[in-house]
Amino acid sequence: MSRYRLWFWGCFVLFFAGLAVASQLALALVAEADEVGPSMTQLGQLSIEQLENVEITSVAKRPQPLSQAAAAVFVITAEDIRRSGATSLPEVLRLAPNLEVARINAFTYTISARGFNSPESSNKLLVLIDGRSVYSPLGGTIFWQGIDVPLADIERIEVISGPGGTLYGANAVNGVVNIITKSSAGTQGLLASMGAGSEDSGMYVRYGGALQGFATYRAYVKAFHRDDTDPVSALDMTQDSFSGAQAGFRLDGGVGRETFTVQGDLFGNRVKDSYEKLWGGDMLARWGHAFDDGSSLSVQAYWDKSDRDAVLLQDRLQTYDLQAQHTFSLGASQQIVWGGEFRVWREALFSQSPFHFLNPSATLTLGNAFAQDDIALSENLKLTVGTKAEYNSYSGLDVLPNVRVAWEPRKDTLFWAAISRAVRTPSRIDRELIAPGILIAAPHFGSEQLTAFEAGYRGEILSKVSLSVSGYYNDYNDLRSDQYAVPDIFPVQLQNHLNAKTYGVEVWGTYSPADWWRLRAGFNSFQRSLSLDPQATDLTETQTAGQDPPYQAQLRSEMNFGSDWELDLDLRNVAHVKTPALVSFVPQIYRTVAVTPSYTEADARVGWRFASGLELSLDGINLLHSRHLEFNDPSSYPPRSIQRSVFVTLKAAL
């Protein structure tokens, strides 16, 4: 279907849906509250009372209510995902006000928490999918073009801004994104959806069933296509359209106190003009046992294969991981969780450019042990202390302590504070990337280090108004710098001479003016100062520092009209991005240059349940402008503009 036909049908459906919604709104405004419908009457209560009691696992590595979590954590629920209109995981993550999400082009994004956001520097965010880390040892980053999770299968996403090294190890420096998919018991029957739009198209089919008295299962297949983004430069003649397919399964079961999960995926993606191909798969198995005294033991193992072919680089990576965790109570006042992990990366890199690797094939290992104790000092005061000792092939032993205190003066109010240490361990690029006459290997490159100070509040400040506020001060040392091996003479060597101090505030809240209407708002601010060690220089400070807006703001409205119609509106504003740039060839003389202008965009979604199990939705994305720029660093990718788009989805659940 051509783009023009898609635009025509999109406008036609939008016009029809607009008339229908307007008529339903008029009826809703004059209807009595008990005539609104079951789904409407529960929307307000869900956001304030039930959502605060949603059980999360990321903060303590054991189930606890969100309202008692002593961290800056935002939860994206399955309902949030359904109503977002998003067609990819990175677009879903825009819902989290404590993340920075910038789309680079048709196939990839750069995402971070609390700064350092760019393909070169967004290496301080840990992303987990059902406990499987998708961290790449090549550059310490996340290759978003190779990560896809069926959105309909996600139970929730727990987004923690702030260090998580004690529980999750090195590289959980600025935050943790924990994606938790639904049990197969909750995805029974047939679900199918098809969508098409001016920029995107896709399909998804899932079927779930039961093995009598033993287990439940599901299997799925999906495919997608994203059209080209717009080049900023007239000299950029490339096409970056992105297509892919994925299939997978999950099996959940148990006998008595034993539970198990087995799941796996296969995928293949391709970018058009860059000739970048990505393919691979994963397999995960988890076993759990609940003891009579309330304690529990779990063991998890996974294998992950991720291959990438670019124009000048071939990357072959396999990951093997084994971890165990034991949770128990010590008396009536202590909850202890402890465990360990061992991981092996096997990677082969084949480069056809001047830049290549000292060891094309390498095996890297990581091992750790951790323990954390939640101590109830009184009925409403809790102290959390923990540490992790982690050893890796490159930098040796790192110790990652964590101290948190939480005070709950009443049921709906929590104050918390924390001091943590986290590190980013060296990547293969840090240690082994070389280029004759330009760059030499850095065998002594060490871990980047962070000491973080945090404090926050979470609670219900008024009837139907909830609020979360957190502030932080981060002190970074030994960040990556690019220094001449001999003063003012090439080649260059990667070293640990850059330091940074960052601070900011994160705020989000929910207000339900009526049972059928919910408003959400979010804001974060970010400030940074950089410094070099005495006698040190840095030739590419911009890449290490990242591209971070000084603030972001968003406002979201969710409305139900009757039991069949939904209207969701989203408004977001992202400030301009300025980065340091060299004034001359003399290092350490910089000026501030705006590389990405600020932008304000709006999204809208209309959903219509026109029959039992059938839903039609229309989404408008980036409606305020025909195109806008979100990221600009020509050294990594040619700058591309993101277009306005519409998307129509038909979903059937049987």
Confidence of residue 50 (pLDDT cuts 50, 70, 90): low
Q: Residue 108 above 70 pLDDT?
A: yes
Question: For residues 150 and 249, what is the distance between their CA atoms, to the nearest angstrom?
Answer: 11
Provide the percentage of residues in the chain whose pLDDT is more than 70. 89
Question: For residues 164 and 372, what is the distance between their CA atoms, to the nearest angstrom?
Answer: 12
| Residue-wise pLDDT tens digits, 280-291 | 999 999 999 999
pLDDT for 512: 93
Provide mean pLDDT across the span 601-630: 96
At 12 the three-state DSSP class reads helix
| Residue-wise pLDDT tens digits, 118-136 | 887 889 999 999 999 998 9
pLDDT for 590: 47
The domains found in the chain, sorted by start residue, are 3-653 (2.40.170.20)
Confidence of residue 321 (pLDDT cuts 50, 70, 90): very high
Average pLDDT, the chain: 88
Tokens linked to 524: 């974060």
Roughly how many angstroms between the first and final C-alpha of the chain, as a whole number?
28
Q: Residue 4 above 50 pLDDT?
A: no
pLDDT for 497: 92
- CA 89 to chain CA centroid, Å, is 8
Question: For residues 341 and 370, what is the distance between their CA atoms, to the nearest angstrom?
Answer: 9
Provide mean pLDDT across the span 457-468: 92
Amino acid at 248: G
Provide mean pLDDT across the span 151-174: 94
Which residue(s) pair with 219 in the sheet?
207, 249
pLDDT for 594: 62
Provide the percentage of residues in the chain whose pLDDT is more than 90. 72
Q: Residue 202 phi/psi, 5° resolution?
A: -175, 165
Confidence of residue 38 (pLDDT cuts 50, 70, 90): very low
Q: Residue 532 above 80 pLDDT?
A: yes
- CA 129 to chain CA centroid, Å, is 10
pLDDT for 539: 80
pLDDT for 7: 40
| Residue-wise pLDDT tens digits, 180-223 | 999 999 999 999 999 999 999 999 999 999 998 789 999 999 99
| Residue-wise pLDDT tens digits, 576-596 | 998 765 444 444 444 556 689
Q: Residue 648 above 50 pLDDT?
A: yes
Amino acid at 123: N
Tokens linked to 361: 């094939």
pLDDT for 120: 79
- Residue 579: count other Cβ atoms within 10 Å of its Cβ: 20
Provide mean pLDDT across the span 40-59: 60
Question: For residues 26 and 198, what is the distance between their CA atoms, to the nearest angstrom?
Answer: 31
pLDDT for 124: 93
pLDDT for 91: 97
| Residue-wise pLDDT tens digits, 545-571 | 888 999 999 999 999 999 899 999 999
| Residue-wise pLDDT tens digits, 6-36 | 443 444 344 334 434 433 443 343 333 333 3
Tokens linked to 185: 């018991």
Q: Residue 157 above 90 pLDDT?
A: yes
Question: For residues 164 and 176, what is the distance between their CA atoms, to the nearest angstrom?
Answer: 7
pLDDT for 109: 96
- 48-52, 78-82, 156-160, 634-638: range with lowest mean pLDDT: 48-52
Provide mean pLDDT across the span 421-450: 94
CA distances from residue 383 to 375, 399, 404, 458 in whole angstroms, order as listed: 5, 20, 6, 17
CA distances from residue 542 to 24, 116, 118, 503, 590 in whole angstroms, order as listed: 52, 10, 10, 19, 10
pLDDT for 421: 96
Provide mean pLDDT across the span 386-409: 95
Question: For residues 334 and 383, what is the distance between their CA atoms, to the nearest angstrom?
Answer: 10
Q: Residue 35 phi/psi, 5° resolution?
A: -100, 0
pLDDT for 177: 96
Q: Residue 273 above 70 pLDDT?
A: yes
Which residue(s) pair with 194 in the sheet?
203, 650
Provide mean pLDDT across the span 614-634: 95
Which residue(s) pair with 547 in the sheet?
none
320 or 532: which carries more pLDDT confidence?
320
